Amino acid sequence: MVDDILRTPGAVRDAERWTAHNYHPLPVVISSAEGAWLTDVDGKRYLDCLAGYSALNFGHRHPQLIAAAHAQLDRLTLTSRAFIHDQFADFCRELAELCGKDLVLPMNTGAEAVETGIKVARKWGYQVKGVPAGQANIVVAEGNFHGRTTTIVSFSTDEDARADFGPYTPGFTVVPYGDLGALTAAIDENTVAVLLEPIQGEQGVVVPPEGYLPGVRQVCTDRDVLFIADEIQSGLGRTGKTFACDHEGVVPDMYLLGKALGGGIIPVSAVAANADVLGVLKPGQHGSTFGGNPLACAVAIEVVRLLATGEFQRRSAELGERLRTGLEGLVGKGLVGVRVRGLWAGLDIDPALMSGREACERLAARGVLAKDTHGSTIRLAPPLVITKEEIDLAVTTLAEVLAA
Ligand SMILES: Cc1ncc(COP(=O)(O)O)c(C=O)c1O
């Protein structure tokens, strides 16, 4: 095919012409997808090794999720929370049971779940813990990524995400990730919560030292502080368990969930916690027009049911070992570091060889889609429906790129 009959270049140009440049996408234009595979406007196929940053844990267009969405589209799509609909209670109950918590508060995007967690923690601090008005603080970690609202970027340590968006929301203390001593020292009598990703995804799949999460759990219990686990990217099967916290037997006070909860179809996020925490919210104090809408609930119920089978967690754990073996074989052959938990991997490319962006462009040219983060790091997060042959294909293609 000659270039001028390909549709991709024109489609890339049009997309750049008509949007704000708040992203720098790879120059591929997707038009359809199924399972772990994407097809672009020119018919070229790609293995998806990003899965919408874990929003597509069950793959593209999982039949059970698509069927639920179709059925719900034909009955009822939106009511607002002014009324109750017939999907709502089942969603909240089944998700609460999956989380082992009393209650669920549904929202839409991940950032909204984080904002909800912050608001609930502050209100809990004032009403239950007895923190003086306006004095609540929350301890967060360096390298965090919790979303893009003005409050959330206020405690980001990534200058791209934070700079020129002030004035910043006060009430957050940033400590090094993985350092229990620093975290403990940062807690004072006005601390209402510790907010952490159990594995830092955007930072490059950074796994904290063993014992860190149990230590955080213990210090939060001892000091009457809520432990909020942002499992928006790490949760729902990605790491080989339902939650990344499960690897160390840790139960936070609040789970923040999103991404995969919407089955790759519709934004669904939620906060799950016990009644002594979420119960601080009263009518009128928090909400969202679209949060917990019938279409979202119908899809998310099926997501929870898929997870309740344990099949996806098992696949992620087993195939993750294959991915680990393959990637560790490339250390010293273009990779300088690899971190793997389930089907989630952060790869550090030798910066002398190429940037993460260049590696992703070369992978895309060979039919594998992944995303760089922070210079020379690439993140792999394939859909959990990926097969072992497809994992081998991803690893082999990466080896070719690194050797080229
Ligand atoms: C850990 C974590 N929290 C929160 C968010 C924000 O989610 P959303 O983009 O849906 O607002 C993300 C998104 O990447 C995330 O990875």
Cβ of residue 390 lying under 6 Å from some atom of ligand 1? no
Residue 156 CA to ligand 1 centre (angstroms): 13
The DSSP letter of residue 35 is B
Residue 4 has pLDDT above 80, yes or no: no
Q: Which atom of ligand 1 is nearest to the CA of 112?
A: 11
Residue 219 has pLDDT above 60, yes or no: yes
pLDDT tens readout for residues 72-89: 999 999 999 999 999 999
Hey, is 296 helix, strand or coil? helix
Find the helix or strand (DSSP H, E) in which 316 lies: helix 311-328
Cβ of residue 147 lying under 6 Å from some atom of ligand 1? yes
Q: What is the pTM of this model?
A: 0.98
pLDDT given for residue 2 in this prediction: 52
The CA distance from 130 to 189, in Å, is: 10
Out of 230, 253, 348, 372, pick the active-site residue.
Answer: 230
CB-based contacts of 395: which residues, under 8 Å, 6+ apart?
A: 323, 326, 327, 329, 330
Mean pLDDT, all residues of the chain: 97
Q: What is the mean pLDDT of residues 339-349?
A: 98
Residue 317 CA to ligand 1 centre (angstroms): 23
Q: What is the mean pLDDT of residues 230-243?
A: 98
Residue 223: how many CB atoms within 10 A of its CB?
Answer: 14
Do residues 216 and 183 make contact, with C-beta atoms less than 8 angstroms apart? yes
Q: What phi and psi, each to the nearest 5 degrees, are found at residue 88?
A: -70, -50
